[in-house]
């Protein structure tokens, strides 16, 4: 029986981003990859992820950047295996440097390509950020893995990750992996994670 993976994209990305498309292609036959467009607001995003997990009963979560930040919260709560690619664990810092209007970098299903970063959004992320580790537990320590790009200029949170989890891996890339990096580094770890019996 095919397994099921939920992929959670980064802040400026969408469920149609290159990483999502690559994972769907490379894991075809082993796992169905679901890659929803996440709401801009983090509490709405978390609610959506929990709903999808309840409906789909995934075998693992995979996230990148902001998606990895959200994936950690959900995976720890539901005790799901997860791979966190370059998790951005201080989204408030990321957003504070980018206040204003922006465009999503990949197409969204609803056709809306515009977003605005303001103080209200930063406050919402701060509320979630302060409690992001609340559900960490001994069981999830070995189930949630981190994958860190050695040339990532944006997120440097491996030390914080290792305060809570055991397994950290590295790849010679930047913050957003290319399709080739996804094939070489993300896919093998996802396959290994899916093969484990938790």
Query: Per-residue pLDDT averaged across 31-36, rounded?
Result: 97
Going by their DSSP bridges, the two strands 167-171 and 144-149 should be labelled as: parallel
Query: Per-residue pLDDT averaged across 71-93, rounded?
Result: 97
Q: What is the pLDDT of residues 99-148, one digit of tens each?
A: 999 999 999 999 999 999 999 999 999 999 999 999 999 988 999 999 99
* Residue 57 CB neighbours (<10 A): 10
Give the pLDDT score at 2. Answer: 83
Give the pLDDT score at 139. Answer: 87
Q: What is the pLDDT of residues 37-57, one digit of tens each?
A: 999 999 999 999 999 999 999
Give the pLDDT score at 1. Answer: 59
- 3-state SS track over 84-144: EECCCCCHHHHHHCCCEEEECCCCCCCCCCEEEECHHHHHHHHHHHHCCCCCCCCCHHHCE
User: Average per-residue pLDDT in the chain?
Assistant: 96
Give the pLDDT score at 152. Answer: 95
């Amino acid at each position: 029986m095919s397994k099921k993976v939920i992929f959670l994209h980064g802040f400026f990305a969408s469920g149609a981003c290159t990483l999502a498309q690559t994972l769907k292609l490379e894991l075809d036959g082993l796992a169905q990859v679901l890659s929803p467009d996440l709401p801009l607001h983090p509490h709405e995003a978390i609610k959506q992820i929990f709903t999808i997990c309840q409906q789909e009963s995934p075998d693992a979560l995979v996230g990148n950047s902001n998606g990895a930040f959200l994936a950690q919260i959900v995976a720890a709560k539901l005790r799901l295996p997860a791979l966190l690619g370059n998790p951005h664990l201080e989204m408030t810092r990321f957003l504070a440097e980018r206040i204003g209007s922006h465009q999503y970098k990949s197409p969204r299903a609803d056709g809306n390509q515009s977003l605005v970063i303001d103080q209200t959004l930063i406050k919402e992320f701060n509320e979630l950020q302060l409690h992001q580790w609340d559900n960490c537990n001994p069981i999830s320590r070995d189930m949630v893995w981190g994958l860190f790009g050695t040339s990532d200029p944006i997120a440097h949170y491996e030390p914080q990750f290792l305060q809570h989890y055991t397994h950290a891996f590295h790849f010679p890339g930047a913050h957003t992996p290319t399709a080739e990096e996804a094939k070489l580094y993300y896919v093998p770890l996802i396959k290994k994670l899916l093969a484990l019996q938790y």
